[in-house]
Structure 1
């Protein structure tokens, strides 16, 4: 049986436990726990195509937001610190990837008639 490698993103959820000891923002990593379900999904061609579409959307949206954030940092350095501008790429990319993957999966299930 082929292992779905997307499920390995759920390992990042372990960083959420650092929120108890190090810093509260680490609690956000618990959001990666939802990727555990991909260990039980067979990676067929349609799934790989959906992941590719979602990854492209996540990448380009993150690149756009990062460009905008860096420009805003240079225009207004007191309002937007550089670390927030750079973190925005990662956060926006992951959120857009996850949301677009879920939407593509729901649309696929509707087309197959298995969505209730």
Structure 2
């Protein structure tokens, strides 16, 4: 049986438990728990195509958000700190990847 590697993103949900002891923002990592369901999905060609399409949406949206955040930081350094600028690429990329993958899966289910 072929293992769907997208399910391994759910391991990041374990970092959410650090929110109880280290810092409250770690609770956001519990959002990765929704990727557990991909361990039970057989990765066929359409699924791989949807993942590639969603990954490209996530990548380019992250590049766009980082460029925009860097421009805002250089124009108004007091408004947007450097750590937020660096984190913006990752956060926007993961959100856009997840949303676009869900939308593509819903569209796939409607076609069946």
Tell me the residue number matched to 1:108: 108
Displacement after TM superposition at 1:102 (Å):
0.2
Number of residue pairs matched by the alignment: 112
Instruction: Provide Cα deviations, 1:58-94, integer angstroms capped at 9, x if missing partner.
Output: 0000000000000100000000001001101000000
Return 5+ residue gaps in structure 2 as ranges: none
Tell me the residue number matched to 2:99: 99
User: Where do 4+ consecutive residues of structure 1 move more than 3 Å?
Assistant: none
Displacement after TM superposition at 1:17 (Å):
0.3
Tell me the residue number matched to 1:70: 70
Displacement after TM superposition at 1:5 (Å):
0.1
**Normalised TM-score (structure 1):** 0.96
C-alpha separation in 2, matches of 1:87 and 1:111: 37
| 3-state SS of 1:80 partner | coil
Return 5+ residue gaps in structure 1 as ranges: none
C-alpha separation in 1, matches of 2:25 and 2:46: 35
Tell me the residue number matched to 2:47: 47
Tell me the residue number matched to 2:23: 23
Displacement after TM superposition at 1:14 (Å):
0.1
